[in-house]
């Protein structure tokens, strides 16, 4: 049976008991509304940890005013039943007031990494993510924590935070899971109209286009980015309220813009369909022989 | 024998070994250059913990450009010998490059608490303190950590950080230790000229004056602050380069200014003697009967 923990002291007590009787404790931090992406993180945690705890908490701190905090999909009963099916040992599901009693003034700042890509249109978002993850890490004290590559910027920021602040735990980043047509699983996909959902395939297509251009020898960053944008624009121009947020090639270590295409680059896109904002990314490794020719 | 640990992996290994064979682990974070204040923290840690580790690290992150990072007093051999005399189990003494390899972008923000009092003239100072303490807490994973009330703002910020980010440890704040003439021990006292040192007694005297005014029924915040400033000014006006940074009554929970004097107030002063800046503070509890009369 999956234990449900609703308060911080309950979670600490569970961890204390389970840690004595077991080895590695794995944490999968989520905002719930599970899809195949979450399940892949849970399965990986179950595979390599002795105990797996999943947190389900829609974190108000990472939503800016006007974003979709209130309407973010929530379905705890379904999530719990999926967690049970997957053999999760415990679910930590606190109320917002439990995590943020009045008087929170401490935050984890993530510097320039939090300003690139999604940070540009979501100011404060990654500070909110880093702060809640810091809290979860201190409450659960996991040996390993699991994040999805779909949120590449988040994964990089959490990895960096753990490294910079010397957290005694391992971060594992798991591959993006996609629907059959290539669209990355996201809790926000269900908000799309049928028309928007069919157009959403263009995110991954534009990433594959970037990959194919680069693998064919294209080494001009602006050219690749323009091709990506052109492809997306062509696909969404007739959809009301649809617009490109970004379509970029960036340095996978700094998320900064590139002077040159070499080694490994991260292609990253964000597209708005009305109030729903979708993201995707692809790591592109340039084969050394092509690099020499480029 | 006191073990000296110079790298983060060495410290982690020591902690792993010692924790299995013992109960509570106490951490006393310091910048070295020990005086009676440090020794009182060490003695308290030794008294209530099974193992005591003292960190000695002059943290560049908490010094602004132009402050005294380079000239901050350092005497590791003397500190180590004092630690050994006091029965400290381990000293963690990393190089700056061990704590801050290039690429640190994560920081711990402390909000408005870091902008009051000393924060006003030392921008970024408390963020630097909180960040290094966060790192030390993750490296050592103490059950208890010890700070001095002399640095009241620092102690409050660390307590708040631990509470806000749910750190699984206890903070203990120990009373200020004073020289026979009332001057609080500080590593910076040794930098004072004989004249400055004799004038430095005015910090504590002004705090006692505030206490005595309040205990006599004075309830006007501005009046008390003016009396403190007048007393300090009288004592330092003839000393070249001496000036008041602040002499305030503040809310001990928020460090914000007061409308009224009641319950408990924190009197806090900072005075510059040339490049040397001294601080002191006193918690003043107003007796309920006087409060009713006031």
| Residue B85, Ramachandran bin (φ over 0: left; ψ between -120 and 50: alpha; else beta) | alpha
**In which domain, by residue range, is B245 found?**
189-293
Among B104, B164, B168, the residue with its CB nearest the CB of A105 is B164
Q: Tell me which range, A20-34, A240-254, B12-26, is most confidently predicted by mean pLDDT.
A: A240-254
With an 8 Å Cβ cutoff, are B107 and A108 in contact? yes
Query: Does residue A128 sit in the same domain as residue A217?
Result: no
B73: tokens are 């007093």
Query: Does residue B24 sit in the same domain as residue B162?
Result: yes
B113-144 core/surface letters (b: 16 or more CB in 10 A; e: else): bbebbbbeebebbbbbbbbbbbbbbbbbbbbb
pLDDT, tens digit, 9 for 90 and up, residues A190-215: 999 999 999 999 999 999 999 999 99
Q: Which residues pair with B16 in a beta bridge?
A: none
Among A104, A110, A168, the residue with its CB nearest the CB of B105 is A110
Residue at which a domain ends, from B117, B142, B174: B174
Arithmetic mean of pLDDT, B150-155: 98
Residue B294 has pLDDT above 50, yes or no: no
Query: Does residue B193 sit in the same domain as residue B169?
Result: no
pLDDT value at position A147?
A: 98
Arithmetic mean of pLDDT, A259-273: 97
pLDDT value at position A21?
A: 64
Query: Does residue B116 sit in the same domain as residue B55?
Result: yes
Residue B160 has pLDDT above 50, yes or no: yes
Question: Is B179 a member of any domain?
Answer: no
Arithmetic mean of pLDDT, A229-245: 97
A136: tokens are 């979860």
B133 to chain A: closest CA residue = A165
In total, how many domains does chain B have?
2
Query: Does residue B136 sit in the same domain as residue B13?
Result: yes
pLDDT value at position B287?
A: 80
With an 8 Å Cβ cutoff, are A106 and B8 in contact? no
Query: Does residue A43 sit in the same domain as residue A152?
Result: yes
Asked if B25 and B53 count as a contact pair (C-beta separation under 8 A), the reply is: yes
Question: Is A234 a member of any domain?
Answer: yes
More confident: B187 or A292: B187
Question: Is B216 a member of any domain?
Answer: yes
Arithmetic mean of pLDDT, B81-85: 98
Q: Does B20 touch chain A (CB under 8 A)?
A: no
- How many CB pairs below 8 Å do chains A and B form together? 78
Distance (Å) from the C-alpha of residue B65 to the closest C-alpha of chain A?
19
B215: tokens are 């205990």
Q: Which of A10, A100, A115, A166 is the best substitution to test chain B (most B C-beta atoms within 10 A)?
A: A166
Distance (Å) from the C-alpha of residue B180 to the closest C-alpha of chain A?
38
Query: Does residue A236 sit in the same domain as residue A105?
Result: no
All residues of chain A having their beta carbon less than 8 Å from the beta carbon of residue B112 are 105
pLDDT band at A287 (very low <50, low <70, confident <90, very high): confident
Q: Which of B165, B169, B253, B254 is the best substitution to test chain A (most A C-beta atoms within 10 A)?
A: B165
Question: Is A198 a member of any domain?
Answer: yes
Question: Is A269 a member of any domain?
Answer: yes
pLDDT value at position B182?
A: 98
As to burial, measured by CB atoms within 10 angstroms (0-12 exposed, 13-18 middle, 19+ buried), residue B92 is: buried
Query: Does residue B121 sit in the same domain as residue B227?
Result: no
Question: Is A127 a member of any domain?
Answer: yes
Q: Does B282 touch chain A (CB under 8 A)?
A: no
Instruction: Give the Cα separation of B125 and B138 in Å (integer).
Output: 20
Is residue A38 annotated as part of the catalytic site, yes or no?
Answer: yes
Query: Does residue A201 sit in the same domain as residue A152?
Result: no
All residues of chain A having their beta carbon less than 8 Å from the beta carbon of residue B134 are 165
B290: tokens are 């006087």
Query: Does residue A142 sit in the same domain as residue A197?
Result: no
With an 8 Å Cβ cutoff, are B108 and A107 in contact? yes
Assign residue B75 the CATH number of its domain.
Answer: 3.40.50.620
Percent of chain A with pLDDT over 70: 97
Percent of chain B with pLDDT over 70: 97
Distance (Å) from the C-alpha of residue A135 to the closest C-alpha of chain B?
5
B85: tokens are 């005399």
Query: Does residue A136 sit in the same domain as residue A37?
Result: yes
In what helix (H) or strand (E) does residue B76 lie, and over which residues does it extend?
Answer: helix B76-85
Q: Which of A8, A16, A27, A106 is the best substitution to test chain B (most B C-beta atoms within 10 A)?
A: A106
Residue at which a domain ends, from B148, B174, B200: B174
pLDDT value at position A22?
A: 63
What is the bridge-based pairing of β-strands A90-92 and A51-56? parallel
Distance (Å) of CA A164 to CA A12, A160, B64, B101, B103: 25, 6, 20, 9, 8
Assign residue A249 the CATH number of its domain.
Answer: 3.30.1300.10
Residue A226 has pLDDT above 80, yes or no: yes
Beta-carbon count within 10 A of B259 CB: 8
pLDDT, tens digit, 9 for 90 and up, residues B214-253: 999 999 999 999 999 999 999 999 999 999 999 999 999 9
Arithmetic mean of pLDDT, B109-120: 96
Residue at which a domain ends, from B140, B174, B208: B174
With an 8 Å Cβ cutoff, are B107 and A103 in contact? no
pLDDT value at position A283?
A: 98
Question: Is B97 a member of any domain?
Answer: yes
pLDDT, tens digit, 9 for 90 and up, residues A154-166: 999 999 999 999 9
Average pLDDT along chain A: 95
Contacts of A192-198 with C-beta under 8 Å, sequence gap 24+, read A192/A273, A192/A276, A193/A273, A195/A239, A196/A239, A196/A242, A196/A273, A196/A274, A196/A276
Arithmetic mean of pLDDT, A114-123: 96
pLDDT value at position A294?
A: 44
Asked if B78 and A78 count as a contact pair (C-beta separation under 8 A), the reply is: no
Query: Does residue B154 sit in the same domain as residue B209?
Result: no
Residue B291 has pLDDT above 60, yes or no: no
Among B135, B165, B168, the residue with its CB nearest the CB of A134 is B165
Looking at chain B from residue 140 to 199, which residues have their Cβ under 8 Å from any Cβ of chain A?
Answer: 141, 160-161, 164-168
Phi and psi torsions of B174, nearest 5°: -100, 150
Percent of chain B with pLDDT over 90: 94
B104 to chain A: closest CA residue = A164
Distance (Å) from the C-alpha of residue B82 to the closest C-alpha of chain A?
28
With an 8 Å Cβ cutoff, are A161 and B106 in contact? yes
B56: tokens are 């000695």
With an 8 Å Cβ cutoff, are B168 and A111 in contact? no
Catalytic residue among B38, B93, B125, B237: B38
Question: Is A43 a member of any domain?
Answer: yes
All residues of chain B having their beta carbon less than 8 Å from the beta carbon of residue A109 are 106-109, 127
Looking at chain A from residue 219 to 278, which residues have their Cβ under 8 Å from any Cβ of chain B?
Answer: none
Nearest C-alpha neighbor of B205 from the set B240, B243, B242, B234? B234
Three-point CA angle A152, A155, A221, nearest 5°: 30
């Amino acid at each position: 049976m999956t234990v449900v923990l609703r308060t911080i002291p309950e979670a600490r007590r569970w961890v204390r008991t389970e840690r004595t009787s077991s080895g590695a404790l794995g944490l999968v931090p989520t905002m719930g509304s599970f899809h195949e992406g979450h399940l892949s993180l849970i399965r990986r945690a179950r595979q390599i940890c002795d105990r797996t705890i999943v947190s389900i908490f829609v974190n108000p701190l990472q939503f800016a005013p006007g974003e979709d905090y209130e309407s973010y999909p929530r379905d705890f009963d379904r999530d719990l039943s999926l967690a049970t099916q997957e053999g999760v040992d415990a679910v930590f599901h606190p109320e917002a007031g439990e995590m943020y009693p009045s008087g929170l003034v401490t935050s984890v700042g993530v510097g320039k990494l939090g300003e690139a890509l999604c940070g540009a249109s979501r100011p404060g978002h990654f500070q909110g993510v880093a702060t809640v993850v810091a809290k979860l890490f201190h409450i659960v004290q996991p040996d390993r924590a699991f994040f999805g590559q779909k949120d590449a910027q988040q994964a990089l920021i959490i990895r960096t935070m753990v490294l910079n602040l010397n957290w005694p735990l391992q971060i594992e980043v798991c591959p993006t899971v996609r629907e059959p047509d290539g669209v990355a699983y996201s809790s926000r996909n269900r908000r799309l109209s049928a028309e928007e959902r069919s157009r959403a395939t263009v995110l991954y297509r534009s990433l594959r286009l970037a990959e194919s251009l680069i693998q064919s020898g294209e080494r001009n960053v602006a050219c690749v980015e323009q091709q990506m944008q052109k492809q997306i624009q062509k696909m969404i121009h007739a959809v009301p309220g649809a617009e490109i947020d970004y379509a970029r090639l960036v340095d996978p270590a700094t998320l900064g813009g590139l002077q040159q295409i070499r080694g490994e680059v991260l292609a990253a896109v964000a597209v708005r369909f009305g109030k729903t904002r979708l993201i995707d990314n692809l790591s592109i490794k340039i084969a050394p022989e092509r690099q020499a020719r480029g």
